[in-house]
Structure formats: structure tokens, C-alpha cells
Amino acid sequence: MTTFYILVGYLALLIGLGLLSSRFFKGTSSDYFVVSRSVGSFLLLMSIFGTTMTGFAIVGSTAKAYTTGVGVYGLMASWSGLIHSAVFFAVGIRLWAIGKRHGYLTQCEFFRDRFESQGLGYLLFPILVLLVIPYLLVGVIAAGKFIQPTTAGLFPDAFPMPPLPNGQPHPLNGGIPPWLGSAVVCFIVLFYVFFGGLRGAVWANTFQTIVFMVTGVIAFYMISKNLGGLKAASESVLASDFASARASREGMIGKLEFLSYCFVPLSVGMFPHLFQHWLTAKSAKSFKLTVVAHPVFIMIVWLPCILIGIWAAAYLGPLGEGQSPNSVLGRMVGQLVHSPVLSGLVGAGVLAAIMSSLDSQFMCLGTMFTNDIVVRKFGADRFSDSQKILIARGFILLVVGITYLLSLWLMNSAHVFDLGVWCFSGFAGLFPLIVGALYWKGTTAAGAFASVISVVVVWCVLFYRDIIAVKPAGGASDELLIFGMMPVAIIVAVSTLSLVVVSLFTRKPSDETIRKFFV
């Protein structure tokens, strides 16, 4: 029960942090939504890093390394280190400057003014919300899926599982079921976001980022020690028929697939929750630490996860019927870290990574609905600051409710983490729009519409082919590749082409608008 008590204590700490941050709340909507633009270098780094590292980074990377091997680091982590920092530097700082000059709180506000089009905001709002929801789903489901193996054996009477077909007890018997674990995590995040606003999320992210980085390193040390040390653990991979292929990329990942993953991290340029975090910066210099430290921070989190994933392939062997690779990390911790205290701390670390993304996503949805729909529709003077905050909280509650119900429906779907990649692909497809808006004066409203609509059409067609359409039996790969490349490469190419071609032949924005947005 020690593990359980540590998890409960950790969640209680977050509630306390939410209450504490609410004491610093100044009562204005600007303070609730962007912390009065007062966040310094360290908090910006930790909150942005915590937001970009999701359940996908911790649970998903271990699972993906278990199935696909060491190449997963190059696919996601090292590309992200290069591209994320480039986006923070080239897009984040400019958007921060524009947001500070003109008082923006959301992406839609910026795009409406930049392209002199109210319609563009109304088109983008539902697209951004619909793309954030699968991202939320990944976090909510990952939380539930991780809590169950971590607490396995603790509550055999309350949460029994039928024995396996071979008569062995189910490895998840007595664990807190995913529906309950996910519900508790949603409640905790809602609590500190409700009371602390984005300040609560920034504080909680900073605390949680420290927790998941430190506990990740501890877990890695404990797992490697119990596998006989680093050398023995890796040598067991080479000695295993099942695991040895995972020590390189040959036969696991295609070369064009590896290359085309560079488009996936472009998604951070259009994440609405990151946009909001950029606006919280006190000055442009606040970005410096984030730009430099982000690649190494990614390495600190991903490298242990990838190694644990390939070691798991040797230690656990092939998983049985109905056992998801997403449970690999929980099982390795459960079976190899025998200290209940460390199991509890590692469990808290994984939950920290998951919740540090959920909070920002919850916040951004509330901010967008309040400012892009309600205030836009009824006028800025129609509502007091406290009413705006109330509206934001109401919308957050609605979205979390819908997401939770969807998570129950999709909890056992094999496609949950594919949904995450598709969500990133959608945001990455919109990336040419932000680049055009910031760097090319000739980008027009018609070009922006063409780009967004082309992304929607191409994304829907490819998503249907990959996730919904029935695939022929015996297909070579379960991942949709086009000419050996990730679909995101096609989406970005079509989006860029639409933006450029249509902009060249349509009416340019006014000189006044150009002066407003360009240095």
C-alpha cells in the first residue's frame, strides 16, 4: 500500500499547489489566462517542456521502443530537439512580441487581425479544438493505463480480474481500473486549473517536470541494476531472438519514414496551449534558456525510456493476447523495482508527465472559447473579468467531460497512440500558415483559407485510410506510409502549396495591417 499512499500524497500536493497559486491570483482575466505576462526563464522552460512531454513521451516511447527499437529516439526525440527549439526561436519569440504589442490571448485573435478576416477565426476554432481533443485523450488514457499495473495486487477484492487462459493469475488483478484512474487524474488537473488558472498550470508544470525527470532517472537506475547492470541489460537484448532486432533500425523503420518524421515536431508551432505559454513570458530573453535546454531535457527523459523499452523486449519477451505494449513501462517498474517507495515515486513521475500536458490543454480550450467565441460574439465590454473566467471554467468542464467519456469508449483501442501522431500531423499541417503570417507579407486571407481547408481535406482522407478503413489482411505495415514517408509530409506539402499559390493571385492585406505585424 506504500506505493498507493505515495501516489495519493503526490496528488494531494498538486491540490495544495493549486490552492497556493490561487492566493497569488490578481482577479483579472489577463492574470488568469496569461499570468499577467510575467513568467521568467526557468518557469518558462519548465512549463513549456512539461507541456510538450506527454504520456506519449513516457509511456508511449517505452512502448514504441519495445515494438520498434532504438530508432524511435531518432524519429521523435532528436528531431524534436532540433525542430522544437527552432520553432520556439523563430515563431515563439515573434508571436510573444506581437502578443505583447497588441494584447492577444489566443491564436484565432492573431490570425483574424493578421488576415483581416473574422471568418478565419471561426474556421480555425473548431479545427484547433478537435485536434486538441485526441491529444487530451492520449493523456487521459495513458494515465488510466499506467495506474492499473502500478497498483496491481493492491485491491484484489475491489477490482478482481479473471485469470489468464493458461490458469495463471492476471498480472493486472487488483489494480485500480483505468476508468477510475483516468477520472481521478482529470479531477486533480481540473482542480488546480480552476483555482490557479494558467499560473496554477505553470507552477504545477514546473513541479511536475522536476518530479518526472528525477524519478525517471531513479527508475532507470533501479531497473538497470535489477537487470544486472547496464551492460548485462543491453547484452541480453543482443542475445534474445525476439529483442535483438531492436538494437538497430534495420528492418524496423524505413529510411524515408525516418527522414519524414522531421515534419511531426513542426506541430508545436500551432499548438494553442504552447501559444498561450509563449505569451506568458516576461521578456524575449525568457526564451533563451528554453531554446538551449529543451533538446537536452528531451534526451534526459527519452533516453532512459528507449533503453527500458528494448530491455523489456528481452526481459518480458512477446506480450500475450490482449496485452498492450503501453503497459510495458508499468510492468517493468512493477516487476523490477521492488521498493514500494520507489514504485510510488516513479508512478508519481509518470502521472506528472501526463498531467503537466493536460493542464495547459484544458486551460487553452477555456481561453479560446471565452475569447474567440463568447467575447467575439457579444463584445469585450459585455462581460466582467470574473464572468469571463467563469465562462472559461464552464467550457473546460464540458470538454473534460466529453474527453473522459470518449476515453472510456477508446480505452482498449489499439489506435490511441496513433491518434496522438495524427493529432500532431494536423497541427504540423497548419504550420505553413503561421510561418506565412509571420514571415511573408504577401500571405493573403484567401491563401490562409486555402491552406486550412486543404489540411482538413487531406488529413481527413489520410486519417480515414489509416484508422477507419478496413485494411487488407497481411499488409506489410500497420502504419500508413505514402511513398515510404509519413502522411504528415504530404499534408505539410499540400498546405504550403495551397498557401503560396492562392496568395500569389489574391488581394494582399492592407499596408496598415502589414505595418502592425512586421518589424
Partner 1 sequence: MNTKIAIAVFVVLAILHQDDWNWDNKTLWLGFMPAGLGYHALFSITVSIFWAAVNRFAWPHRIEAWADEGEGK
* Closest by CA position to 171, among listed 312, 41, 319, 72: 319
Residue 97 binds partner 1, judged by CB under 8 A = yes
In the complex with partner 1, which residue's Cβ is closer, 321 or 511?
Answer: 511
Q: Counting contacts by CB under 8 A, is residue 153 touching partner 1?
A: no
For the chain, the maximum distance between any two Cα atoms, rounded to a whole number of angstroms, is 75
Eight-class DSSP state of 281 = B
CB 136 within 8 A of CB 354: no
Q: How far apart are CA 346 and CA 353, in angstroms?
A: 11
Q: What are phi and psi of 242, to 5 degrees?
A: -75, -40
Q: Does 96 bind partner 1 (CB under 8 A)?
A: yes
CB-neighbour burial class of residue 319 (10 A; exposed 0-12, middle 13-18, buried 19+): middle
Q: Is 468 in the site for partner 1 (CB under 8 A)?
A: no
Phi-psi region of 301 (alpha: psi -120 to 50; beta: other; left: phi over 0): alpha
- Per-residue binding letters, 102-141, with partner 1 (x by CB under 8 A): xx--------------------------------------
Cell 513521451 sits on residue: 57
Which of 20, 184, 247, 500: binder of partner 1 (CB under 8 A)? 247
Of the candidate residues 303, 410, 453, 467, the single one contacting partner 1 (CB under 8 A): 303
Q: Which residues, at least 6 apart from 243, have a Cβ–Cβ distance to it below 8 Å?
A: 236, 237, 310, 313, 314
Q: Pick from 225, 231, 338, 382 the residue near partner 1 by CB under 8 A.
A: 231
- Applying CB under 8 A, does 243 fall inside the site for partner 1? no
273 Cα distance to chain centroid: 10
User: Which member of 91, 132, 147, 298 binds partner 1 (CB under 8 A)?
Assistant: 298
Select 292 or 406, whichever has its Cβ closest to partner 1.
Answer: 292
Q: How far is the CB of 266 from partner 1 (least distance, A)?
A: 13
H or E element, residue 224: helix 178-226
283 near partner 1, judged by CB under 8 A: yes
**Contact with partner 1 (CB under 8 A) among 57, 87, 94, 421:** 94
Q: Tell me which stretch binds partner 1 (CB under 8 A): 159-167, 225-233, 334-342, 469-477.
A: 225-233
Full DSSP string of 91-140:
IIHHHHHHHHHHT--SHHHHHHHHTT-HHHHHHHHHHHHHHHHHHHHHHH
Binding to partner 1 by residue 250, rule CB under 8 A? yes
Interacting span for partner 1 (CB under 8 A) from 10-18, 55-63, 74-82, 160-168: 74-82
**Out of 285, 338, 382, 507, the residue judged to bind partner 1 by CB under 8 A:** 285
**CA nearest neighbour of 324 among 471, 170, 145:** 145
3-state secondary structure of 401: helix
Angstrom distance (rounded) from CA 251 to CA 233: 22
Q: Which is nearer to partner 1, 295 or 394 (CB)?
A: 295
Which listed residue (222, 310, 396, 492) binds partner 1 by CB under 8 A? 310
How many chain residues touch partner 1 (CB under 8 A)? 55
Least spacing, CB of residue 48 vs partner 1, in Å: 14
The amino acid present at 315, given as its one-letter code, is Y
Q: Which is nearer to partner 1, 10 or 104 (CB)?
A: 104
Assess 273 for contact with partner 1 (CB under 8 A): no
- Grid coordinates of 27: 482577479
> Does residue 293 belong to the site contacting partner 1 (CB under 8 A)?
yes
Q: Which three cell numbers stand for residue 309?
A: 523499452
Q: Shortest Cβ distance from residue 118 to partner 1 (Å)? A: 21
Which residues of this protein are in contact with partner 1, per CB under 8 A? 70-71, 73-74, 77-79, 81-82, 85-86, 89, 93-94, 96-98, 100-103, 230-231, 233-235, 237-238, 244, 247-250, 255, 258-259, 262, 283-285, 288, 291-296, 298-299, 303, 306-307, 310, 516, 519
